[in-house]
Amino acid sequence: STDQAGSLPSTEKEPDDIIEENNQENLPATAAEGEGAAGGVYRYIKGDLFTSEIFKVEIQNLPKYIGFNDLKKFLNKHGVNPHKIKLFSKQMFAFVTFKNQEERDKAMKAVHGMQWKSKVLSVRLAKPKADPILKKRKQEEEAEGGQHGAKRAAGSQEGEEEEEGPLNIQIANAVTPLWNVPYEEQLKRKEKEVEGVLQKLTREIGNNNKAMLPWLFLQKEKYNKLCCPLEAIRPSPVQTEYRNKCEFVIGVGADGEDKTVGFRLGKYKGGSCAVVSPAETSHVSSEAKRVVQGFQQFIRTTPYAVYSPETYEGHWRQLTVRTSRIKQTMAIVFFNPQKLQEEEIEELKRNLRQYFTEGEGQESAITSLYFVRMGQRTSAGTEDLPCEHVTGEEWIHEELLGLKFRISPHSFFQTNTPAAEVLYSAVGEWAQLDQDSTVLDVCCGTGTIGISLAKRVKKVIGIELCQEAVEDAKANAEANGLTNVEFHCGKAEDVFPTVLNAVVSPNVTAIVDPPRAGLHSKVILAIRRAEHLKRLIYVACNAKAAMNNFTDLCRAVSNRVRGAPFRPVRAMAVDLFPQTMHCETILLFEREPCAHGKQEGAFNQKLTNLNIKLNDSALQFFSRCPKKPPRVKQTSCHI
């Protein structure tokens, strides 16, 4: 699972950063080309750098009431593979970008003139968006050009600074927005958020599986209008200095100091690049702060400038720090080599090594140091960049639930170790495992969940995209003396169906802990088809984003979705990210029983006990479950 709460601002300007909200910002091609050539607000569009904004179209006349996923599925169904989608549902149009011109042109031919829900779609080329930093600067210059403009701008700026307060308060609000909220209140807010997710899931099940309505009616009555019980949120054992991984931006400080290492006050698309030190933030460990301070001192002694996402010039980009409870620290330095000679880069690496092993940087107590060459993206790929080992151990190690784990630079490991123990313990409680069980650990990272359960089951099979993490997982299984664990590297949608079909165990439980976007639909469809898989535990770092996964697990059988649906039977939030609004959500799904007669009998008996009278239309609805049920009249309750 990707840690949303802790994903900190990156120095990379992604295509998302330059997509703004209003269609009015789309300028004619001549304007875009003219300003781009002149180095204006379209300067980011360069022939040798990748941005999908170059390959953008506008789809017009979309049907009413469609959502992002409806549009994505529609495009995929017709062989169109978008890179990014920005939907404006009220205006019934969308911007769609592609990885290259060929895919864009193919999409235009396929979609233009196509009919969708009685609407004939129209497609036209769309223009790239203005760089938000340059656009903001241009607006400020224009404002200052007017009469008394400079005075007004200065007065406005002073007012803003006065309103926002000191920098330590501003950065606390940016990265830990609940820092001044009592922890009990934080937990209540997070539990309320998860309750809202379950309310939506309840509606989605009702809309997409009419045969489940009798069961859903009883569940809503039992569990305060929810499809399943929501158990009390489990708090994090620690509320401060809990992060074991932080990504720090390198840039110009908000206080004017050059080469500052810390967090951005805002996002690039909001027009802000100012960086503030993490020294007074509550969620960063003292070990990480010490590394930041030492590294900042080092880069200020070098002749190399910080990288500018505005001009693409400069070198220092990012510092990632990983720490563990056994006092090991890994630092990963991201550097844009630009046109430096190899000898200069090697000398820089030697200086880094000397500084942290023999010089003033020894106080940082780094046990593993890596160097990453991070140039401009020239394609749409998202592969992990190669890490060059500079000094120290190749890994750091962590202990979790009495087990030992090694962690590589790119490997996923939950960012709050004590709270991860709470999370994984809950997963183990809910899984109902025995010595005949087989566990499928999907998106397993370094193997933490599967390895923590291995001694209780017959076999654990892990699936993970990151090769480094798979190697770590194998080493972790061996280090903990486990022989009933195996790991497969690849995309879950490619590997999972094959692995699942090969499992012959009568007691199969799947545990999925995917990135924030959720699982690929192919994985969900494979889970549905595997009738011998009766139980699924879904660990979601962003339950709202995973809603389509939840719905597809529960929706009625169709030509696309085969296999009996699942039902949600338990849900709970676990707080891994104190001082923020984020938390992990666990949902337990179980395969729906085949015999519907018992459900309907229990449902009818319940109505009798409650003295609820339904007319013939309502009874016919629940027995036959037509696609469009008639309206229920003359009832003494709302269903």
Task: List the binding residues.
Answer: 414, 464, 513
Q: 627: which residues sit within 8 A by CB, 6+ positions away?
A: 210
For residue 388, how many C-alpha atoms fall within 13 Å in the half-sphere facing its CB? 15
Q: How far apart are CA 259 and CA 352, in angstroms?
A: 16
In this structure, the strands spanning 316-323 and 245-251 are antiparallel
User: Which of 192, 152, 318 has the alpha carbon at shortest distance from 248?
Assistant: 318
DSSP result, 97-145: E-SSHHHHHHHHHHHTT-EETTEE-EEEE-PPPPPHHHHHHHHHHHHHH
In the 8-state DSSP scheme, what is residue 273? -
Strand 437-442 and strand 507-512: the pairing is parallel
The label of the residue with tokens 């070198």 reads: 315
Q: Is 583 a catalytic residue?
A: no
Q: Residues with Cβ < 8 Å from 507, sequence gap 6 or more? A: 434, 436, 437, 438, 534
| Sequence-separated contacts (24+) of 118-124 with Cβ below 8 Å | 118/63, 119/61, 119/62, 119/63, 120/61, 121/59, 121/60, 121/61, 121/62, 122/59, 122/60, 122/61, 123/57, 123/58, 123/59, 123/60, 124/57, 124/58, 124/60
Four-point Cα dihedral 456, 461, 466, 471, nearest 10 = 70
CA distance 269 to 94: 19
Is the distance from CB of 249 to CB of 263 less than 8 angstroms?
yes
Give the residue numbers of the binding site for S-adenosyl-L-methionine: 414, 464, 513
The H-or-E segment that residue 97 falls in is strand 93-97
Structure token digits, residue 54: 């170059």
At 13, which amino acid appears?
K
* DSSP helix/strand/coil, 423: helix
Is 475:447 a contact under the CB 8 Å cutoff? no
- From the list 228, 246, 444, 541, the catalytic residue is 541
Tell me how crowded residue 110 is: count the other CB atoms within 10 A of its CB: 14
Q: Which residue has the tokens 């699924």?
A: 536
Contact 217, 248 (CB under 8 A): no
Q: How many CB atoms within 10 Å of residue 7?
A: 13
In the block, residue with structure tokens 């939907």? 87
Q: For the chain, give the longest Cα–Cα distance.
A: 86
588, 232 Cβ separation under 8 angstroms: no
Rounded to whole angstroms, the Cα distance separating 560 from 59 reads 26
Question: Angle at Cα 5 formed by Cα 377 and Cα 541, nearest 5°?
Answer: 95
- Given a contact cutoff of 8 angstroms between Cβ atoms, the answer to whether 317 and 307 are in contact is yes
Residues 175, 533: Cα–Cα separation, whole Å: 40
CA pair distance 357, 367, nearest whole angstrom? 9
Q: What beta strand segments (E) does 532-632 contain?
A: 533-540, 566-574, 584-591
CA-nearest of 118, 235, 140 to 185 is 235
Which amino acids are annotated catalytic? 541
